């Protein structure tokens, strides 16, 4: 009987983490979208690589430090809001540079949503353990990030395209890994689970948008 009770309690705890993660993720996606719209409306310029990376890693560190306190939620909104602000100028650049920029953005958003929902549904319903992806994802993300920095500084379109493809695959894997980690009890902090899934969605959207821009047939 005690084993059954413990199993039930463990299942309730996992469901609670999953529910809280999706609720917070929905709220942060909405807030980030509002910040992107604000940046677009104000016609804010691109923040630049140093400010973008500094703000991102600084707020990510802060969120990790506060993940077990009530201030952690504020840190999550600060991080995702900042990422939304950096997204606004990028979206603005696409609507200016491409005659079908709005369609490209809508397609990237739709593709991102479909990929996230499909992978999340598969991970939850299958119950498969994707923990074996951990080392591959860590190494892959580091390599892709460094390659992206190189492509930015040395203006290498082919490398930039390869990085986008790599990030689509890596972020898809990260969604599977994190969702599996939650439902199997490996991730018990919904704040960090939210951050991981938000970053996956954010990078997935940007990568899809870049690919769509490349293959749109416009310079």
Q: Is the overall model pTM greater than 0.75, yes or no?
A: yes
Q: What CA–CA distance (Å, rounded) separates 174 from 33?
A: 22
Q: What is the pLDDT of residue 57?
A: 96
Q: What CA–CA distance (Å, rounded) separates 177 from 188?
A: 14
Question: What value does the CA radius of gyration of the chain take, rounded to a whole number of Å?
Answer: 18
Q: What is the pLDDT of residue 159?
A: 93
Q: Where are the domains of the chain?
A: 2-214
Q: What is the pLDDT of residue 13?
A: 56
Contact 95, 105 (CB under 8 A): yes
> Could you give the count of Cα atoms lying within 13 Å of 31 in the half-sphere of its Cβ?
18
Tens digit of each residue's pLDDT (9 = 90 or more) over 37-71: 999 999 999 998 899 999 999 999 999 999 999 89
Q: What is the pLDDT of residue 6?
A: 47
Tokens of 185: 């009890």
Contact 159, 147 (CB under 8 A): yes
- Tell me whether residue 63 is exposed, middle or buried, using C-beta atoms within 10 angstroms of its C-beta: 0 to 12, 13 to 18, 19 or more: buried
Contact 187, 181 (CB under 8 A): yes
Q: What is the pLDDT of residue 166?
A: 96
Q: What CA–CA distance (Å, rounded) separates 83 from 120?
A: 22
Tokens of 165: 């493809």
pLDDT < 50 stretches in the chain: 1-3, 5-7, 9-10
Tens digit of each residue's pLDDT (9 = 90 or more) over 100-117: 989 999 999 999 999 999
């Amino acid at each position: 009987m005690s084993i059954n009770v413990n199993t039930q309690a463990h299942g309730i705890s996992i469901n609670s983490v999953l529910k809280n993660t999706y609720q917070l993720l929905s709220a942060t996606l909405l807030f980030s979208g509002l910040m992107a719209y604000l940046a677009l409306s104000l016609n804010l310029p691109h923040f630049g690589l140093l400010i973008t990376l500094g703000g991102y890693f600084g707020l990510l560190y802060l969120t990790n430090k506060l993940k077990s306190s009530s201030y952690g939620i504020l840190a999550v909104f600060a991080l995702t809001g900042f990422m939304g602000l950096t997204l606004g100028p990028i979206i603005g650049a696409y609507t200016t540079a491409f005659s079908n920029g709005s369609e490209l953005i809508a397609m990237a958003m739709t593709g991102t949503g479909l990929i996230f929902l499909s992978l999340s549904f598969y991970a939850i319903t299958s119950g498969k353990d994707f923990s074996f992806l951990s080392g591959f994802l860590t190494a892959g993300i580091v390599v892709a990030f460094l390659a992206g920095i190189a492509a930015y500084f040395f203006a290498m379109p082919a490398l930039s395209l390869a990085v986008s493809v790599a990030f689509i695959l890596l972020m898809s894997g990260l969604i599977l890994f994190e969702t599996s980690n939650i439902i199997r009890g490996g991730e018990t902090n919904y704040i960090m689970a939210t951050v991981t899934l938000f970053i996956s969605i954010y990078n997935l959207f940007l990568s899809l948008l870049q690919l769509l821009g490349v293959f749109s047939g416009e310079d």
